[in-house]
Amino acid sequence: MPDIDWSLLMPQLVIVATLFIVLVFDMFDSISKKMHAWMTIVGSGIALWSSINLLNAGTDTIQFNDMFRIDSYSLFFNIIFLVSTILVALFSISYLGKDDKKQGPYYLLILLATLGMMLMAAGNELIIVFLGLELMSLSLYVLAGYFRESPASSEAGMKYLLLGAFASAFFLYGIALIYGATGTTSIPGIAEKLTTESQSPLLLAGIFLLIVGFGFKVAVVPFHQWAPDVYEGAPTTIAAFISAGPKAAGFAAFIRIFTEALPNLHTEWSGVIILIAMLTMTVGNVIAIAQTNIKRMLAYSSIAHAGYVLIGLAAANSDGKSSAMIYLFVYCVMNIGAFGAVILARTADGESLVISDYAGLGFRKPLLGGFLTLMLLSLAGFPPTAGFVGKFYIFKSAIGAELYLLVIVGAINTAISAFYYLRVVVTMYMREPEEELEFNPYPSTLVIGLVLAAIGILLIGILPSLLFNTAQNAVL
């Protein structure tokens, strides 16, 4: 039996324990369904506290026969996943309402997806990464089609399932080819093998298939087609969840594998990453301009932001790695916040998803207008928000790696994105509504989540060293 220090696995163990607690309590009809949300929030909060303690202690160890690595890198991503889970759970309390009888499975699947994300970030073996990827993905397929009575939600779940199955097949086939070329699926083992042996066509084919698999999971061009339809059809809370934590998990494994297992082949794969990054930023931002549905606009925005993260991967140095981590943390908070503001704009007839419905909202609902404006300005990269800090460090890392063309394309795309983000702000404050809509009262838990997101965005924007130093230490 391997010698395991269970105290170092506390974040994962707490999530597993929370899973069982939610499962057991769901059997009792007398217990309020909102309790499932609070159990999820408390469990994720304890796991978050444990991850922060381990990160501050400088933990760096390998468990389970060198298959599971607990280091500052994986712990930093644990924080991203758990913050995303807490915010989404807070938003879900009011979104689902008190009468929904299916809330137990809903939060159970969110916790399972979170556990899968944590496995992906800590995987020191390609097989462990794949297991985490499938645990996360299978949970998300069900969550995307959670509203079974809604044709749009059912369609979103089915599309996500079918395309996700193809992506998983590509990813697994890539692992098989890499194993055939190197004789191992261990990330350090692959790196060691490549220091003594030259590349082979089999290995390059495996790397290409990994890029395809990861490309789907993080929604980069040309593997992005599923994202707009899934985001639009899925429940808004789940669209927020899919756009944040799972995307960060995909990049956590993507960056670790390519920078730690394949650094000697950087010349071979960096050109592909640079091309995909430029296409992803451009396609995402340009198509977002034409959207009239705010969820589809945020979907294409999410695609564009994946392109910015790829800049850090293309740089493939410590600055690139840390800047990608900073950007992912910032992106998750502000994107979930943007979806939360969309939920806050629900009317008596349902969600207001057409951008024209937000006309005059800034004055009629000033709190809602303020939250949505802050999130959109941060997504656009205006100072003094966290979005500006994220873009600054991403572009700085690319300049350090002499990727000047990538910086120019990124800067142009940042200017393009400002147009469609500011269009929503202009609609809220400078246009009169065509009809008076009756908005629901502000749910307290949703407001609490948005306040936490807003504080985080402004705090990081004003004091970026709080996040920068942690990210830098995580990659050294």
Concatenate the DSSP letters of all residues of 105-131 into one string.
HHHHHHHHHHHHHHHHHHBSBHHHHHH
pLDDT value of residue 194 = 83
Residue range 248-255: mean pLDDT, rounded = 92
- Name the pLDDT band for 249 (thresholds 50, 70, 90): very high
Q: Is the dihedral of CA 447, 453, 457, 458 positive or negative?
A: positive
E strand spans, 30-92: 61-63, 68-70
Across the chain, what does the average pLDDT equal? 87
Q: What percent of the chain has pLDDT over 90?
A: 42
Q: Which residues constitute the domain of residue 394?
A: 264-476
Domain presence at residue 198 = no
- Name the pLDDT band for 352 (thresholds 50, 70, 90): low
Which range has the worst mean pLDDT, 89-103, 193-207, 264-278? 89-103
| pLDDT surpasses 80 at 37 | yes
Question: How large is the greatest C-alpha to C-alpha distance in the chain, in angstroms?
Answer: 70
What are φ and ψ of residue 123, in 5° steps? -65, 125
Domain presence at residue 249 = no
Domain presence at residue 341 = yes
| pLDDT surpasses 80 at 285 | yes
- Name the pLDDT band for 438 (thresholds 50, 70, 90): low
| pLDDT surpasses 70 at 276 | yes
d(CA 286, CA 45): 38
Domain presence at residue 133 = no
Domain presence at residue 3 = no
d(CA 20, CA 34): 16
pLDDT value of residue 430 = 85
d(CA 199, CA 182): 9
pLDDT value of residue 103 = 78
pLDDT value of residue 291 = 87
Domain presence at residue 71 = no
Domain presence at residue 258 = no
Provide the 3-class DSSP secondary structure of residue 354: strand
pLDDT value of residue 159 = 86
Residue range 290-304: mean pLDDT, rounded = 89
**Domain total in the chain:** 1
| pLDDT surpasses 60 at 99 | no
d(CA 67, CA 114): 19
Q: What percent of the chain has pLDDT over 70?
A: 94
Domain presence at residue 216 = no
Q: Give bridge partners of residue 186 from the DSSP assignment.
A: 125
Top-confidence residue, 90 or 64: 90
pLDDT tens figures, 148-201: 777 888 888 888 888 888 888 999 999 999 998 888 888 888 888 888 766 788
CA geometry: angle 255, 60, 453, nearest 5 deg: 60
